[in-house]
Amino acid sequence: MPSEKSSRRLVGPAARLLLRAGAPERSQVLRGIAWMVLAAGLEALGPLAGKYLIDSFLLPHHENLPAMAGLLLGALAAGLVAAWVRYLQLMRLAGVAMRSVQRIRERVYAHVLRLPMAFFDHAIIGQLVSRVTNDTEAVKTLYVQVLFVILDSLIVLTGAMAAMLWLDPHLMLIVLGLVPVVVLVVALYRRLSAPAVTRTRELRSELNAQVAESIAGMPVLQSANATARFRTRFAGLNEGHYQSRRRELRANAWLLRPVLDCLHTLLLAALLWVFSQRAGGEALGALQLGILYAFISYVARVVEPLVQITMQFSQLQQAMVGAARVHALLEEAEQPVPPAQGRITRGAIAVRDLSFAYQSGHPVLHDVTLDIPAGSFLGIVGPTGSGKSTLLSLLLRFYPAPAGNLRIDDAALEAIDDAHLRERVGLVPQDPFLLAASARENIAMGRDLSDAQIEAAARAAHAHEMILRLERGYDTPLGEGGARLSVGQKQLVAIARALAGQPRILFLDEATSHIDTETEQVVQSALAGLRGRVTIVAIAHRLSTVRDADRILVLHHGRVAELGSHAQLMAIDGGLYQRLVQMQQLEDPDEETEAA
């Protein structure tokens, strides 16, 4: 994690990200830098003109007005052209920086969408959001700080040094002595502030994560009366963030401006002392005075870029931490999608000797063998943690199953083209996950479906009537997470969404756990309507949902315990299915007659 890295170790990843982000616009960057050099060169002419005016005209009382006016106008024109060139440079480099952020943000988001499901088992949503939004912004800061300020400052510094070298090499060497002192100050500053900068960034991301988590779990938070505890935890993080920022600021306040301003004053004193030594108690000669004027101007031009460079280090470090984190996210391996041609035609599923472990040494499925004929309805039941969802996740290719153990029709699962698999296999998850969009958009999910197809899917899911009863029918916005609908209604929309793709196989993962008996019957009718046309695999805690299935698979500790129709399984005396049914009847006597 970048948090544990020293700031020096952040430079590599940050620089790689910066180079990659700017690569498509290398010529724009080079042109921007060329403008920068030109502007610095023009700006460096000012003090030279001043020196020439003092040396050649003012001190010798040589009042050649046209020449003096020409000199002043020339300096003015150089200043104006420099300002115009600065504008061009700013527009060019700012454009590059903003386009880089835009590109990188899209790349990070696209990358996150392709990450394997295992990544999301550990990911913290708020932190991921931070990576995609705030941390990508770091790239812009890197551009602005590195290219605009630091590079610009270095160019101005070099210009001023060159002019001083030309005027008086000895004096220039005295000024040059300032540079190592500033390098020392910057090194000390980095040492003191780097841990605080990294911590500040981490804490900001934790603040985001807590806000996202609290909002997502608001009903639990409020009902568990946990809001005060969460507020205290947030305040603790926020205080940590404040203290960390203070540590950063303290390093800034001590080391940057004040130290450099002192150095500036010392340097000016040293220059005056050298001049007084040269004059040996006499008044300064004309030539000396012009050079003194030019040097005082140039020293300001040397100190100011150095101040700028050191002042940028705080920003630069923050940006590097952010950029390194974006880089780390981009380094996460994507779900491999090998090119494959396999097709799903009928929807027959074969599972052979399937064993699987999330962590090696802890298998959750053992030697599962199973055939699900095309168009049949398989129910999967079993105690909690018995591996039902895991089996479904493997069939959905959310986690890689051992090669060859799963087949659909004539193809091994891993040999089926990914887009085709997603098209042909529909999923109704336990949490229906609705977008803050209309019913129509929620069913279409970005697919190019006609209104007729959407309506047909809604009818097949028995959701059509319910949607028509909403005030704007299919165009009714469903609110964030489908907040406008009941859980059962959301489930019907989710079923319609799965059916709209006309899948050959439909997986339902406890789709009826949280709905009332009446809605469950609607779901059952919807499933009945699909029988023979679509292969249905439904995990159910509510046994009544799968009572009518062709066969029911009972999983126990990751093994196939029983397999058969409801009647066959009920006939096994002391069997697990029979016991599950009896337990459910005790829990919910209303279902006694239905399930038995």
Ligand X SMILES: Nc1ncnc2c1ncn2[C@@H]1O[C@H](COP(=O)(O)OP(=O)(O)OP(=O)(O)O)[C@@H](O)[C@H]1O
Binding site for ligand X (CB under 6 A): 121, 358, 364, 382, 384-390
C-beta closer to ligand X: residue 385 or 404: 385
**DSSP-based three-state secondary structure for 285:** coil
Question: CB of residue 456 vs ligand X: minimum separation in angstroms?
Answer: 32
C-beta closer to ligand X: residue 40 or 391: 391
Say if residue 501 is exposed, middle or buried (CB neighbours under 10 Å; 0-12, 13-18, 19+).
buried
C-beta closer to ligand X: residue 28 or 389: 389
Helices of type H across 332-433: 388-395, 418-424
C-beta closer to ligand X: residue 128 or 194: 128
List 412's β-bridge partners, or say none.
Answer: 407
DSSP string, 219-266: HHHHHTT-HHHHHHHHHHHHHHHHHHHHHHHHHHHHHTHHHHHHHHHH
C-beta closer to ligand X: residue 61 or 362: 362
C-beta closer to ligand X: residue 198 or 386: 386
Sort residue 333 into left (φ over 0), alpha (ψ -120 to 50) or beta: beta
The residue written with tokens 């300001």 in the block is 300
Backbone angles phi, psi at 27, to 5 degrees: -65, -35
The residue written with tokens 């999923």 in the block is 427
C-beta closer to ligand X: residue 273 or 358: 358
Question: CB of residue 476 vs ligand X: minimum separation in angstroms?
Answer: 32
Helices of type H across 344-463: 388-395, 418-424, 439-444, 451-460
C-beta closer to ligand X: residue 49 or 364: 364
CA-closest candidate to residue 168, choices 67, 257, 289, 2:
289
- Residues 523, 495 contacting (CB under 8 angstroms): yes
- Residues 496, 444 contacting (CB under 8 angstroms): no
Question: CB of residue 125 vs ligand X: minimum separation in angstroms?
Answer: 16
Helices of type H across 399-541: 418-424, 439-444, 451-460, 464-469, 487-500, 517-530
User: Distance (Å, rounded) from C-alpha 358 to C-alpha 511?
Assistant: 24
C-beta closer to ligand X: residue 200 or 390: 390
Question: CB of residue 364 vs ligand X: minimum separation in angstroms?
Answer: 4
